[in-house]
Structure 1
Amino acid sequence: MTLGWAVISTGRHAENKIAPAIHAAPHAELVAVCSRDQQRADAFAERHGALAAYDSIESVLQDSRVDAVFIVSPNALHASQTIQAARAGKHVLTEKPMATSVEDAIAMIQVCRQHGVMLGVGFHLRTHPAHLEILRVLQQQALGTIALLNGQWGFGARGQVMPPPRPPLQQWWEEPELIGGASTMMGTGVHVVDLYRFLLGQEIVELTALADGQTPNQPLEQLLTMSLRFEDGPLATICCGRRLPDSLNDLVIYGSDGRVASRGTLWEAREGSLEIVSETVNTTADYPHAFLANYIDELEDFYYAVTEKREPAATGLDGLRAVEVTLAMITAAREKHTVKIERHTP
């Protein structure tokens, strides 16, 4: 059995990662693609071997071969497209951020629940074997009491002080309403936030943020640092940005009995290394470059979540929690003070 997928939007992420990963996943089939432009949809379908191409989500949802949709559209469209798909009986895996408001995220969870369909969020870092090993070590309390987490996901080009304007079909990334009021936080910061929650099993209770944007003259940030406090006491930092050529995209966690460091694992591809140094566990591991591996495992996990009727690796609630933190970051950066996180029950 395979899950019949429709990819909503034919942008770079769908082109380079999602459609190829669907082809590579053992239990996935690319049934349909959707673009506002029929010619773009047709060309995408031809390149990736999709069975059908549509220029509206309504047409996609009428295709009985489609079991699930992977939403890769501009952030502000995720909620409405998820709700449409759920009402049509289709399972939904949406890219992060799940939504651009708490109200939309809650509506997505509620409608999917009401219609009995699965809702997952594309936090692919949860599938990296280095992070799964860190989770196992933390659950065994091999590092003792966790004190501090440091994570960075950045990129850039040497010689560029600021990133250049995006090409026309990617310019929604530069429109605050479509992207959701934040730039590099939406691109990579939310992944690190979610990974911290996944590894610690704790919620963030407050944060502060400094950014090179979130001002009237520069509404969207291209460089961001955050300091976080978790409910049981650990502190954390996150740095993300598009102004960081040669960025060391590492995660380091310090506990009372040791340290774990994953080098180069905060990235799209599966790669990097892991070092654990503690009283009881001392080990290293290397991960050969595998560009699609995290996305393939994300799709396979979703297939088993649907067929086994269990939660996916990252749920709608996980997506909601990331939205709450993102909105708090925007407030903290704009108003220059610490913000307590308000958690909502969907």
Structure 2
Amino acid sequence: MRKLTAIISVLIMFTAAANLARAERIKDIATIQGVRGNPLSGVGLVVGLAGTGDQSLPSQRMLTNVLRRSDLVFSPDDLPTGSIAMVMVTAELGPFDHVGKKIDVDVSAIGDADSLQGGVLLLTELKGADGQVYATAQGSIFLGGFAATGEAATATKNHPTVGRIPGGAYVERSEIATFIENIAGKQYVTLNLRNEDFTTANRMTTAINQLFPNQAHTVDASSVRVKIPPEYDREKVAFFVDSITQQEVKVDMPAIVVINERTGTIVVGEKVGISTVAISQGSLVVKVKESAMVSQPQANFSDNPGQTVAVPDTSIGVSESQGYLIPVNRVVTVSELAKALNAIGATPRDLIAIFNALKQAGALQAELKIM
């Protein structure tokens, strides 16, 4: 009960904070169309492992190919196992990453390696979806965990087969984002809302037009197109984009309740309300206890005295607390809704059942999403 009260209190505090400052910058609620990263990937080889590498043949064959580039010819059977690992190397090329810039890479084992701890990634080409090489990666791998193995015990923390190389790749070819649209001889910038909503999109249009009159219009629930004034040439476009994205907009939030039944997590939107209803809340408790009894047969006058065995014994107890039919008046804010549900002593699992029942009864004035 104390845990539920603490959760409700935090929920109320967030609601109070939202009521005090409900305006958000456009740059925090929208993205600029065309400004996006590009995923890169490549298959590489990690060396220097202390017996925790691959034991399979593909990694040995890959090493022979690497050595062949140095005019060294070996058979896969000539190379030891355990010190190398075949890995998948991934990275993201940013929208404004120029040639020569360093980017972070992730390294993941794709063979049967136990750990990449202490390993070094050999030079690996990272390609985009078009098959072109955009970066080259190399360096020592840093893990967020470890793996230690002895003869009779093993200790593992996090995932030792996945690591990261900060700044481990150099950009060899840039893919600079194009975010300016040319339509009928005029230039435009399109802003896409992270959470589509007509009300928020219209408010964003109004805020931009207050700064630059008649330059913005709402395309749909997720997009606002802004015309770049003629005085803002290519060298000043960045100042224009910065000016419009700094404007603050009051975000409209739909009435929604999100429930994750696996974890018992409930998120209630600000404008969720319930109609006047009466709720009966009771808790059913089932206790199952397993124990073992020793069976010792008594056969004093028999040639077969029997055998002593352990017999399982199960006891089940079922109890149900008294439920009350509690009227709940119509509420219109998260704070009032939280207080109403807290008053009936509902646990998170009870709340899930209550919200589902309210939806079925038509008393929940919100969309119910179950994950």
Same-fold call, TM cutoff 0.5: no
- Please give the TM-score of this superposition, normalised by the length of structure 1: 0.19
| Greater RCO, CA 8 A, separation 6+ | 1
- Please give the TM-score of this superposition, normalised by the length of structure 2: 0.18
Is the strand fraction higher in 1 or 2?
2
Is the helix fraction higher in 1 or 2?
1
Larger Rg: 2
